[in-house]
Amino acid sequence: MGPVRGPALAALLAALLAAASPATPAGAVEVLTGTLRKAAASGTVVIGYRTSSIPFSYVEEGRGDGHPIGYAIDLCLEIVDDIGKAIGRDDLGIRYEPVTSENRIPAVVSGQIDLECGSTTANAERRRSVAFSPVTFVSATKLLVPRGSAIASYRDLAGKRVVVTAGTTNEAALRGLLARLKLEAQILTGRDHAESFAMVRDGRADAFALDDVLLYGLIASAGEAGRGFTVLPDKLSFEPYGIMFRKDDPALAGVVNATFARLAENRELRWTYEKWFLKRLPNGTRLNVPMSDELRTSFQVLGLDE
């Protein structure tokens, strides 16, 4: 289903709302399908989040309510608002469930979570199991190393220990590259990005292969200690991100696409990007990651007027 714009957006949400408004709540639930029916019946949308995917989805240390924050979380909250409008509920609640790189796809497929709001690459293999929103970010696999490291390029990885986070596309990209170059390196696995970064910080690994923007986020969150690390310029893979949800759910897909079209047309998509990638994060640091040409083009297709 393509993006929905302007009057078509209003018409879609109005049609969904009308379908969800028979004489009785029970009747409303019956005419809905998929995730919208689940949300109408339970009164809740379950958001899957990552604990250390800065600035997409993470838990800020010392934050009172313990809820995740980030760019992807903000986008998902907009989707939840539109789900509420579509099913005629202004009391729709949110339950947050932490997920990892390894269990995030099964959590969506099984119905444990309704939206996965993190830093997930939308590739062809994953689309066989789940669906994705329009592109939210474009990243690339790169290597983080300590400053002064002998590793100046991926060609220097022979005999080195490289950590990846379990369940990420970065591992496949790294293994494929090493195989093509006929380089022997030891690949280690961290449970999440924070653990993988810690393995480089304490010397258990020589390099960390991850999406570049996540590496910048980890460096920024480390404060002064982050100054001891750098991200190499070589790109090992192309990583377009999206919000993940259940496949074969056209009603939810319509709401998701409508949300992104709305955010593009009223420029909130740009403002949300700038909030998390150009302005100061809650901890006072800045990532200073300008919007890529690829992402700008994707947003323009959705209706963002430059």
Q: Tell me the domains of the chain and their CATH numbers.
A: 6-136+242-302 (3.40.190.10), 140-238 (3.40.190.10)
Task: Decide if 257 contacts 228 (C-beta within 8 A).
Answer: no
Give me the pLDDT at residue 7, please: 52
Looking at residue 28, what is its pLDDT? 54
Strands 137-146 and 237-241: antiparallel
Predicted confidence at residue 16, as pLDDT, reads: 52
Q: How would you write the pLDDT of the chain (306 residues) with one tens digit per residue?
A: 444 555 555 555 555 544 444 433 544 566 899 999 999 999 999 999 999 999 999 998 776 678 999 999 999 999 999 999 999 999 999 999 999 999 999 999 999 999 999 999 999 999 999 999 999 999 999 999 999 999 999 999 999 999 999 999 999 999 999 999 999 999 999 999 999 999 999 999 999 999 999 999 999 989 899 999 999 999 998 899 999 999 999 999 999 999 999 999 999 999 999 999 999 999 898 999 999 999 999 999 999 986
User: DSSP character for 58?
Assistant: E
Residue 296 class from Cβ within 10 Å (0-12 exposed, 13-18 middle, 19+ buried)?
middle
Distance in angstroms (rounded) separating the CA atoms of residues 147 and 91: 51
Q: What one-letter code names the amino acid at 118?
A: G
- Rounded distance, CA 33 to CA 193, Å? 36
Pairing of strands 57-58, 52-53: antiparallel
**SS3 for 108-141, per residue?**
HHHCCCCEEECCCECCHHHHCCEEECCCCEEEEE
Q: Which residue bears the tokens 């809650």?
A: 282
User: Can you tell me the distance from the alpha carbon of 15 to that of 88, in angstroms, rounded to the nearest whole number?
Assistant: 11
CA atoms within 13 A on the CB side of 98: 10
pLDDT score recorded for residue 19: 47
With b meaning 16 or more CB within 10 Å and e meaning fewer, what string describes 40-65? Answer: beeeebbbbbbbbbbbbbbbbeeeee
